[in-house]
Chains A and B, each alone.
Chain A
């Protein structure tokens, strides 16, 4: 009898300890700035309040998200939650969290505008939320312009006017180049659209490269040939390799840099009080002054073994106080409609350049063309961007003519569409 009691007690203890074992939720995360540290602290608080869930935050390089995560997803594995930018093309792998969320209506009300970016066409699933909204746009080194005695072009200034002003600064200050744009198809898309480009055909498939795209691309190639664009970013790499020119701007090598709002915290940290800088939105083309909206989303993965726990973590991270604190500390633009409407975010930075820069990006987000707003939810966007970068770099390096590049971009995209159909 004693043995029986001992055995039963052991069983009860084992069951209790098994129950107490926290459910693991693995998050695959990459960082542009300090957001890895911020999210880690926020998750520590969640774990303290929810001891039954063990959140494992894996901070990885962006390249891991781009190259390894798709392979894991295709094989039905991967993390429980991931922070990704390629949201639409991989939408089949995201979990519809509606059955598990505490209040799906809250998600619809606050993140509804961008839910289409991360779900399959025609679906009304809730798969995640944007951790931040981004907007592409330019940065200018005010100190260099002032030293050169060159006036900043006005708010409606065109790309030609901005490059001409930057050229004058370059020559006056003996700089190696007048400007740089990140090596990315996404980055040149805002300018392309401002010159009338359209990527989406009437059937929803990629349209052939048009005159709008060629108008800006031919300028870019010409400026590179003239030594105005810093060749280190675009020319000195092959394929779709991403290269940013943030360090060149922070080092005072170029007076004008076209990148995006996610660089604000990075530039503030690197530049410090070395010089004054400002965000200027997007220079104008012939049909508009558009940047490209975008951002990173946090999505639940449909292969998770613990959808309820995943939804609890996501409910917490998408809650208003958490999104507010995350945005204020990372200097990211929030995607939460309630916070945006309140307009009372207090970004935590002592750098006087930061608040006006963020304000300028918020303003720029109201100047985007409809074609720009359509692209984040279009599944072929990244294919288009990849082909643009690969072939335009070859033109800049003297390997192709613009006409050849145009033909090859269309062919590269057509190959990819054919393979997927």
Chain B
């Protein structure tokens, strides 16, 4: 403790002097500088470097040794006769990854919002062991994505737990992760299982903020439960639902770790998503191309910025509604 006390004693007169000279704004700057320095070193600088990499070519890793190629990497990524047909694209693997990501986002987000909503509605009721159930549903959020991927791989592999059950019930074992449909479904399901606890919590908080008297009034009017849900719960939960929707969208676009451990991107490229493509091209592959990987990540980053802006706008709108 002593060093901190001494440091505080030394800093106190310096900060006091600074405050007298620069006023309130100067102090804000002082407190922002440490965080902004960390943010700058670990976010802004890599972002700028990544942008610069995306304009370079060649096989060298160091930026200063790489030739400037302008927009060539972007042109290569976007060069397509028909964007709906990856095989007509110059970078067919990138477009397969884009298609897979789009399908994943649509199915996973829909499933995530639905399951989280149902779970939140159930957990909001006075059921036995409510605290325990809340902990059970939140627990997977605390697990490392790699652990999640491994657990489910052991369940779904050829000699896994699921096949053991199938065989015990008299069925034939299914090689879940070698089948395009089941492997994709597994990626969607596992990722939903791993993250739904977080979204359930947000929706639960929203449900508990709805005034009780509205439900009491509906009960006195003998309103059917479905009507209560559509006319009271859903509209008042709207802002939370919007936040959940956008956060889930952003997370789904970024899908990588658990899916990579679970399926390795296969079978074929059926579960190879944009982040895995970037990782493969940038780091893992013998066909390494840092410039192309950087350009792909910038395109993906652009998409995430749009989604984040939507999320910010929705959050502000929700805040305004709450204030009213």
Contact = CB atoms under 8 A, between A and B. Distances in A.
B283 interface: yes
B197 interface: no
B116 interface: no
Contact of A386 (B60, B157, B285): B285
Interface string A209-246: 00000000000000000000001100111111101000
Nearest to A70: B61
Contact of B287 (A237, A243, A412): A412
A239 B268 contact: no
A285 B288 CA distance: 32
Nearest to A412: B287
B178 interface: yes
A399 B268 contact: yes
A397 B269 CA distance: 8
B286 A394 contact: no
Candidate in A66, A231, A404 with the most chain B CB atoms within 10 angstroms: A231
B311 interface: no
B267 A239 contact: no
Interface in A10-60: none
Interface stretch (B24-32, B107-115, B222-230, B258-266): B258-266
A373 interface: no
A397 B270 contact: yes
A243 B264 CA distance: 10
Instruction: Give the dominant DSSP class at B's interface.
Output: loop
A232 B173 CA distance: 14
A74 interface: yes
B151 interface: no
Candidate in A385, A419, A420 with the most chain B CB atoms within 10 angstroms: A419
A397 B289 CA distance: 25
B57 interface: yes
Given A236-B177, A419-B57, A397 B286 contact: no
B180 interface: yes
A147 interface: no
Interface in A328-361: none
B284 A240 contact: yes
Contacts of B177: 232, 236
A287 interface: no
B175 interface: yes
Nearest to A380: B286
B268 A420 contact: no
B117 to A, nearest CB: 33
A240 B58 contact: no
Candidate in B61, B263, B266, B288 with the most chain A CB atoms within 10 angstroms: B266
Contacts of A251: 159
Nearest to A248: B158
Instruction: Give the dominant DSSP class at A's interface.
Output: helix
Interface in A375-401: 382-383, 385-387, 390, 393-394, 396-400
B62 interface: yes
A239 B280 CA distance: 7
A231 B157 CA distance: 12
A326 B271 CA distance: 42
B16 interface: no
A407 to B, nearest CB: 10
Contacts, number: 105
B267 A231 contact: yes
Contacts of B96: 399
B58 A236 contact: no
Contacts of A394: 268-269
Interface residues of A, number: 40
B276 interface: yes
Contacts of B87: 400, 404
A9 to B, nearest CB: 32
A235 B263 CA distance: 10
Interface in B4-33: none
A394 B286 CA distance: 17
Contacts of A67: 283-284
Contacts of A232: 157-158, 175, 177-178
Candidate in B87, B269, B272, B276 with the most chain A CB atoms within 10 angstroms: B269
A238 B60 contact: no
Contact of B60 (A74, A176, A412): A74
B284 A397 contact: no
B92 A408 contact: yes
Nearest to A185: B286
Interface string B168-198: 0000000101101001000000000000000
B264 A241 contact: yes
B59 interface: yes
A416 B59 contact: yes
A396 B280 CA distance: 20
Given A386-B286, A386-B287, A408-B92, A237 B59 contact: no
Contact of B272 (A239, A400, A412): A239
Contacts of A398: 180, 268
A238 B286 contact: no
Contact of A74 (B61, B264, B285): B61
A415 interface: yes
A75 interface: yes
A71 interface: yes
Contacts of B159: 251
Given A70-B61, A71-B61, A416-B59, A236 B266 contact: yes
A238 B61 contact: no
Candidate in A235, A398, A420 with the most chain B CB atoms within 10 angstroms: A235
B60 A397 contact: no
A382 B288 CA distance: 11
B287 A383 contact: yes
Interface string B87-117: 1000011001000000000000000000000
Given A239-B284, A416-B59, 11 more contacts: A67-B284, A237-B266, A238-B264, A238-B266, A238-B276, A240-B284, A241-B265, A386-B285, A387-B286, A390-B93, A419-B57
Interface of B: 57-62, 87, 92-93, 96, 157-159, 175, 177-178, 180, 183, 263-272, 276, 280, 283-289
28 contacts: A74-B61, A232-B177, A236-B264, A236-B266, A236-B267, A237-B265, A239-B280, A239-B284, A241-B265, A241-B284, A243-B264, A251-B159, A385-B286, A386-B285, A387-B286, A390-B287, A397-B266, A397-B267, A397-B270, A398-B180, A399-B269, A404-B87, A408-B92, A415-B289, A416-B59, A419-B57, A419-B58, A420-B59
